[in-house]
Structure 1
């Protein structure tokens, strides 16, 4: 871990906890808030507070994307767990803590971004370096776009504001149509792509770069191009594959990233910030308050850690890998053993179900389960290569040979034989195995255009315990959290199907 890791989270936590009480009680225009910014270093601290809202992002996408998808058959084996309603398509999950966290944390991040941008507008002259001042603005706008993109993928329509509003003002904001949410996202990411640096010194590693912005912007174009499914979700049925391809090609042509020849090395605790990493959420350990991560153990059961002589972590029950995912791996695929633990024995009792262990290095198990020393990769170079193949198969410029080459790179790395004439269905099947446990599967299914076919068929084949509810297209997005509806009755309706 680099010094910047400590800076970004520690100072972000100071700003978030030290100022949050006052900021929650009064508008950002309050003079005391603005007077925080009296020297250039204050803007670094304020910006770090905006980054701080990334802290729970990995847990969120494992709970709301990975668990929701056909990668896990996560029905409860004892009591009702918060993730069961997510996995089993319960329609009464508006009060689910994972759903509430997704709304609240993203809007906290957006509030902090707006607060910071207002301070930069009013007192930015304190930062005399104009390039640095524009970089600060670009970072804040990148993060605001990132949080809004997360929201639109999860909830569809959400309130949009470019101002740091008070709680009272927030309760008057109507939800914006999806296209309006995307307008702000596109504007912010384009500004970020135009004004962020390509790289940073080691002390600032982890901040958003020009290529982070281009990569997320490419994903935005791809999600906007997904089918609408006749709901107010993230897909708009647009044909923006050429726009996405241009951005992806610019990342590839930059020469800043390379394809790792070792799959495990990408996730090695001793190889963080490697050449595959385009953007990640960074953590540090050994600090008070605790600044490490929790996502490594999120999908793993406590009894497995105990079987390894390690302390329990918090994964009380197993979230089993689905049979369809297990059976999708070819016998020679080396990714399976690295990614998935296929059974174990604890206290003489054999557990035959499998679970995802992709991020776990048992030798690095911390005494404090909230303090794992590993970053979470949001976007990596392999993803860029496969997203390019997706664009080509959807009609953007390129050849079948380009598609086959991208897929065969990951297959050869996994110990598999090359294939030819890769179809869109085969591409997404290869993506499924490559990105297990990285939270991308649910959104891949949406972009694929077959989520309303694949998930119902999967439930029929997989639900041996008859615990899952029938899937309908409204479940592509989540309900608006009940506390939001209760706080401002009649402000906006609940999403259909909930």
Structure 2
């Protein structure tokens, strides 16, 4: 595979090497050396630095969660927004108009350089690094296997079967380019590999729940990922992998290690303003002066606001009511109905969105997203340095609700823990009561929709969650959201577009590697 061959050479030539960093700037990385110099893998500080580098590399690709896990989920406006801006990823991602010529992403979304760096780390720490104690060696390898399982799992959810590479091939003496071509493994083979990796990670952690920096991979992160993987395996048929309901038992027993060991923040908004808080299980850490995120793309610019729209009270907006300090260029806009489904008593609504109205007649015009809005720094500049949470405790509760629903057990106790935080003093009026399987499943989906906006969950929820007939909710019209002026509600995908549950492979990737075949249905 020419594309992956290129990444293999990059992994040989540019290994993520780092010096010893302070705990306050652990992801502010710069290359210290190159593998070819022979100066690396000489002490634990270098191993620790490499682990930090693997996390930094994942943070550098942070948009993968929103792009692959949410953007095509039917909650976002695909083309021109309500405030006159052109939006990012309109087609084929946000409108699901995928074909073999319109793939949305290319080169496996850049995942393999990160995977190959992890492969090198696993080989070196397993076979060399005699200076490490047995306990430390296992701990570092547990992190590496967890991070690799995470990235292969995202590839699996996106493509099904993918090329499986578990070793730093070039370092083993493979120099014939033809031998570097790597066909896609079957979905069953891919999922088997992912399960082995996440189970290896859990085994190597040896029950060590080290509390501290939630931006570093941990046993709790591995167990959330394992739950995620086994839930997917239990509910989603992909190619030659049939859904195996027995995997729900493994998912539940794994998740029981998380339940009760974390807790919800009392205030929903503080989940995104207080770093390393008690609800976070694994996050990508951002920091002023080091790295910032893309949340400014959910806010409109000044020239789209001042004198042109009204606030909820009918007042003409003439100043910076969002306190965005000159930032913002709206590229991702949510549909009005995702705002409309929130009860006004739900504190998540106003911690997530601000609603605006037309200047002329005060008719609802649209919403912008203020969730994870960053900080005002010491010079009163808006800095988008909020962490990107990949797993937090609210998801553990709603995962358990989904598992219990599929097993035929009560879901209300799990949903209501999330609702109690959301509704605060009004909670008693909004308690959930158990219903049929399908009603429960859709209630869990709706709760996840409200809880995880911008967090990269919605699309995969639609693929994994099901109606009473076992069909993905991606095919259910009442699980989609409408735009302003749209009279009817349509499913995110039509049932005859089942192949679009997976993404197509771009032509360049297949030209570069003749062993790679197109995703079924896109031929």
Question: What is the aligned partner in structure 2 of residue 250 from structure 1?
Answer: 257
Aligned partner of residue 282 in structure 2, secondary structure: strand
Q: 1:427 aligns with which of 427, 444, 455?
A: 444
Kindly name which structure, 1 or 2, has the bigger radius of gyration based on alpha carbons: 2
What is the deviation of 1:218?
0.3
Question: What is the aligned partner in structure 2 of residue 301 from structure 1?
Answer: 300
1:496 maps to 2:521:
yes
Question: Which moved further from structure 2: 467-476 or 381-390?
Answer: 467-476
Indicate conservation of the 8 Å contact 1:263/1:414, yes or no.
yes
Indicate conservation of the 8 Å contact 1:51/1:109, yes or no.
no
What is the deviation of 1:87?
0.6
Work out the CA distance in 1 between the residues paired with 2:406 and 2:390: 24
Question: What is the aligned partner in structure 1 of residue 97 from structure 2?
Answer: 90
1:353 maps to 2:366:
yes
Work out the CA distance in 2 between the residues paired with 1:53 and 1:176: 25
1:185 maps to 2:194:
yes
Question: What is the aligned partner in structure 2 of residue 444 from structure 1?
Answer: 461
Work out the CA distance in 1 between the residues paired with 2:22 and 2:44: 19
- Paired residues for 1:223-238 under 5 Å: 223-228=232-237, 232=239, 236-238=243-245
Indicate conservation of the 8 Å contact 1:283/1:374, yes or no.
yes
Indicate conservation of the 8 Å contact 1:321/1:355, yes or no.
yes
What is the deviation of 1:294?
1.4
Work out the CA distance in 2 between the residues paired with 1:345 and 1:461: 16
Q: 1:392 aligns with which of 404, 423, 446?
A: 404
Indicate conservation of the 8 Å contact 1:280/1:377, yes or no.
yes
1:43 maps to 2:81:
no
Superposed CA deviations along residues 254-277 of structure 1, whole A, max 9, x for unmatched, are x3x112222112111xx2111111
Work out the CA distance in 2 between the residues paired with 1:281 and 1:195: 23
1:218 maps to 2:217:
no
Superposed CA deviations along residues 425-461 of structure 1, whole A, max 9, x for unmatched, are 2122222112122111111111112334226984888
Work out the CA distance in 2 between the residues paired with 1:372 and 1:420: 39
Query: For residues 174 and 490 of structure 1, do their structure 2 counterparts lie closer, same or farther at Cα, with a shift above 3 Å needed?
Result: closer
- Paired residues for 1:364-383 under 5 Å: 372-383=384-395
1:486 maps to 2:486:
no
Aligned partner of residue 438 in structure 1, secondary structure: coil
Query: For residues 67 and 93 of structure 1, do their structure 2 counterparts lie closer, same or farther at Cα, with a shift above 3 Å needed?
Result: farther
1:60 maps to 2:64:
yes
Superposed CA deviations along residues 380-401 of structure 1, whole A, max 9, x for unmatched, are 11111111111111017xx42x
The structure with the greater share of residues assigned to helix is: 1
Superposed CA deviations along residues 13-56 of structure 1, whole A, max 9, x for unmatched, are 526xx65xxxxxxxxxxx72765212221111222222222114
Indicate conservation of the 8 Å contact 1:155/1:233, yes or no.
no
Work out the CA distance in 1 between the residues paired with 2:462 and 2:242: 11
Indicate conservation of the 8 Å contact 1:4/1:206, yes or no.
no
Question: Which moved further from structure 2: 304-313 or 445-454?
Answer: 304-313
- TM-score normalised over the length of structure 1: 0.81
For structure 1, the 5+ residue unaligned runs are 20-30
Q: 1:100 aligns with which of 102, 106, 109?
A: 106
Indicate conservation of the 8 Å contact 2:214/2:282, yes or no.
no
Query: For residues 110 and 235 of structure 1, do their structure 2 counterparts lie closer, same or farther at Cα, with a shift above 3 Å needed?
Result: farther
Indicate conservation of the 8 Å contact 1:193/1:211, yes or no.
no
What is the deviation of 1:130?
1.3
Indicate conservation of the 8 Å contact 1:153/1:233, yes or no.
no
Aligned partner of residue 251 in structure 1, secondary structure: coil
Indicate conservation of the 8 Å contact 2:338/2:481, yes or no.
no
Indicate conservation of the 8 Å contact 1:480/1:495, yes or no.
no
Superposed CA deviations along residues 114-173 of structure 1, whole A, max 9, x for unmatched, are 01111113322132x110011111111111111101111111111001111349468511
For structure 2, the 5+ residue unaligned runs are 1-20, 307-318, 467-471
Aligned partner of residue 14 in structure 1, secondary structure: coil
Question: What is the aligned partner in structure 1 of residue 5 from structure 2?
Answer: none
- Paired residues for 1:90-169 under 5 Å: 90-92=97-99, 99-100=105-106, 103-127=108-132, 129-166=133-170, 168=177
Query: For residues 223 and 480 of structure 1, do their structure 2 counterparts lie closer, same or farther at Cα, with a shift above 3 Å needed?
Result: same
Work out the CA distance in 2 between the residues paired with 1:43 and 1:104: 27
Indicate conservation of the 8 Å contact 2:69/2:458, yes or no.
yes
Indicate conservation of the 8 Å contact 2:296/2:330, yes or no.
no
Work out the CA distance in 1 between the residues paired with 2:233 and 2:294: 28
What is the deviation of 1:374?
1.9
Superposed CA deviations along residues 168-189 of structure 1, whole A, max 9, x for unmatched, are 4685111011121122221221
Count of matched residue positions in the alignment of Structure 1 and Structure 2 = 460
